[in-house]
Structure 1
Amino acid sequence: MSLPTIPPALSVVMPTYQDPQCLALTLRALTRQTPPPERFEVIVVRDGGSSDGYAEALAEGAGLRLRVLELVQRKGRSVARNEGARRAAAPLLVFLDADSWAVPDLLERHLAWHSMPGNAAVLIGRRDEIGLADLPAVLAGESRAIARAFPHGGDLRFGTGLPDDGGDWLRAGWVIAYTHNISLSSAHFAQVGGYREAFGLSYGVEDVELSYHVDRSLPDGVNFGYDDDARVVLPHHKKSPATGWR
């Protein structure tokens, strides 16, 4: 059955580079989202590299409004995300990574946040790192049951818990606005020119810099919100500043 041609309300943008196994799990999680599949689209941007394993990985997204963009030459995450955002059909962008395994109501929570007048322009979601002990829960689609605390889980940004300052920390929310799980309007994204592509293949900070420029482009105040239940889980990073995505 083909999906309706009405425009989606939300576009998920994900870059990937030679990591089809993680992408397969991420797409599988997106097929289990509570919003109906016609309400959102998923744009996967393959940033060059080998295509081995991707046909099988993309098959896990069956039933989604899934588009795949292929960059012939590896350009880095900034270029890949910008290309996906340029092709997005929805007024709301959600940036995930290809190893961001979403709880079932993740996209519903992003949509709900941005539908409420007066809410901050950017929503930051939770990102819990997991160990091998939690992998069976991910494979079974039970990511919500994974612990939020170390040693077997936890958001590294909040190792000692969320700041207890009445939300004042969100005045500088751009400092922790990693693109493993954030959303903002396509208009705000375009207004600041997207991610700075000069970062090339280097690892990290391009997302923080984007969020800083979004904050500077908006009126003074709290421009970032945080939802502790808009959650993804991800494996411990196998990447390093020296090797980029590898």
Structure 2
Amino acid sequence: MAIRYSIIIPTYNRLQQLLLTLTSFETQTYPKDRFEVIVTDDGSTDGTKEMVESFQTSYPLIYVAQQEQRGRSAVRNLGLSQAKGKYVIFCDADFLVFPEFIRIVNQYHRKYPKSIISGIPHSWDDAYTHYYPDFSPEEKEHCRNTLSPSNLWNPDFESATEIIPIITPNDILQQTETLSKVTFASRVPPNTKKQFASTDVAPWMLLVTRCVSIRRSQLTRAGGFNEQFILYGLEDWDLGYRLHRLKIPFHSIKEVVGVHQEHPTHFRGNLINIENLKIMFKSYGFNDSSLNLFALVPPNEDLEKYKHTIRVLRRGYRTKSTRSSAILMRRTLRIAAKQLYEPNDTALYQESLRRISVKVKRRKSRVARVLREILVKAEKLGE
């Protein structure tokens, strides 16, 4: 049978988590000859190569590596160059998939054959599959509180100097109850999840590489990941934005298809860092308010406010009485994004904002109220 799904797992020094993730693909109810797993190594030095090459699987497993670390975009593109499947599933090395994972993804693709299918936001729960000695004091306390009710907490963890497995490959293969005992609800607020699932505004934010499935032909058409992104953050949304511009729809999987393996916070970078945001502005210019708004209301900090602002702006354009305020909002977002990208004369920038502020001072529409809030944030950007 032809390969239908190519699962690309980028990794960098995540041997322990990757071992469990690869094991979880052994439990798939979807036919093993219909998918392949491609581990793309961004220069790991922790024995990842030896582990993957010695890993015994009943599914095709491919290992490719870069000799030196080049970043998340480049290593995913490396995997894409090896893929044979009609669809590509990007899966993080710390995402432990459930047995029905590929089968459920396949059901969604049959229903929405030309859509991008995302596991976000319903598969955001976490599990303590390992104890890390470099957990922060707060993380250690949360881990202890999670494990103690099931008697899985060991006081010796506190003095550990190496990573200690809590979940074993056998737990995954035998589907023991241990995993459920170390799993805890995501700290992502419910309304943030609701906003992620809503596709009326910025649906491309559903492209989160923890778990997302895309037609390989669409990825080729979009040009893959932008390899200018070296640092963590925005490389997945950048690709999602380009796919959205190609008018490709997005859908969210309602079922829980996996769980994130918790690790120290410092493993993560900033979801939105200024240098990567500048790359997006350089690539796409300043004509899209949904991008310009990143400069003032970063979605990772307040997704509800971000999407609410875009909705208000769009509605403002539809009504003659509020259209002028909507135009002023769009102008404000543009000049703020430009100021972030390449700071100009501060006095000139503040004067531009002052003129807009005077025009909307006495207006009472919702668009005007939101614009005044945006102006406050824009003024702070120029300080």
TM bin, normalised by shorter chain, reads: 0.7 to 0.9
TM-score by length of 2: 0.54
State the secondary structure of the residue aligned to 1:204. coil
Aligned amino acid, residue 232 of structure 1: G
Q: 1:122 aligns with which of 97, 116, 121?
A: 116
CA contact 2:19–2:169 (8 Å) conserved in 1: no
Q: How does 1:47-58 map to 2 (within 5 A)?
A: 47-50=42-45, 52-58=47-53
Q: 1:22 aligns with which of 17, 22, 25?
A: 17
Gaps of 5+ in 2: 130-146, 153-165, 271-383
User: Judging changes above 3 Å, is the alpha-carbon distance between structure 1 residues 237 and 106 closer, same or farther for their aligned structure 2 residues?
Assistant: same
CA contact 1:103–1:143 (8 Å) conserved in 2: no
State the secondary structure of the residue aligned to 1:228. coil
User: Judging changes above 3 Å, is the alpha-carbon distance between structure 1 residues 236 and 114 closer, same or farther for their aligned structure 2 residues?
Assistant: same
State the secondary structure of the residue aligned to 1:44. strand
Note the C-alpha offset of 1:115.
1.8
Note the C-alpha offset of 1:12.
0.2
Are residue 163 (structure 1) and residue 157 (structure 2) matched?
no
Normalized per residue, the structure richer in strand is 1
Q: How does 1:17-166 map to 2 (within 5 A)?
A: 17-50=12-45, 52-116=47-111, 118=112, 121-125=115-119, 126-131=123-128, 133=147, 135-136=166-167, 140-141=171-172, 142=175, 153-160=184-191, 162-163=193-194
Note the C-alpha offset of 1:176.
3.7
Aligned length in residues? 228
User: Judging changes above 3 Å, is the alpha-carbon distance between structure 1 residues 91 and 131 closer, same or farther for their aligned structure 2 residues?
Assistant: same
CA contact 1:120–1:224 (8 Å) conserved in 2: no
TM-score by length of 1: 0.81
Are residue 180 (structure 1) and residue 206 (structure 2) matched?
no
Note the C-alpha offset of 1:21.
0.9
Deviation track 1:180-213 (CA, whole Å, cap 9, x = no partner) reads 000010011111111111011x112111111111
Identity of aligned residues (%): 24
Gaps of 5+ in 1: 1-5
User: Judging changes above 3 Å, is the alpha-carbon distance between structure 1 residues 104 and 207 closer, same or farther for their aligned structure 2 residues?
Assistant: same
Q: 1:240 aligns with which of 268, 272, 277?
A: 268
Are residue 226 (structure 1) and residue 252 (structure 2) matched?
yes
Indicate the RMSD between aligned Cα atoms, in angstroms: 2.9
Note the C-alpha offset of 1:163.
2.5
Deviation track 1:148-203 (CA, whole Å, cap 9, x = no partner) reads xxx952345553485399x6x12333224210000010011111111111011x11
Tell me the residue number matched to 1:204.
233
Distance of 2:244 and 2:268 partners within structure 1: 27
User: Judging changes above 3 Å, is the alpha-carbon distance between structure 1 residues 14 and 164 closer, same or farther for their aligned structure 2 residues?
Assistant: closer
CA contact 1:122–1:184 (8 Å) conserved in 2: yes
Normalized per residue, the structure richer in helix is 2
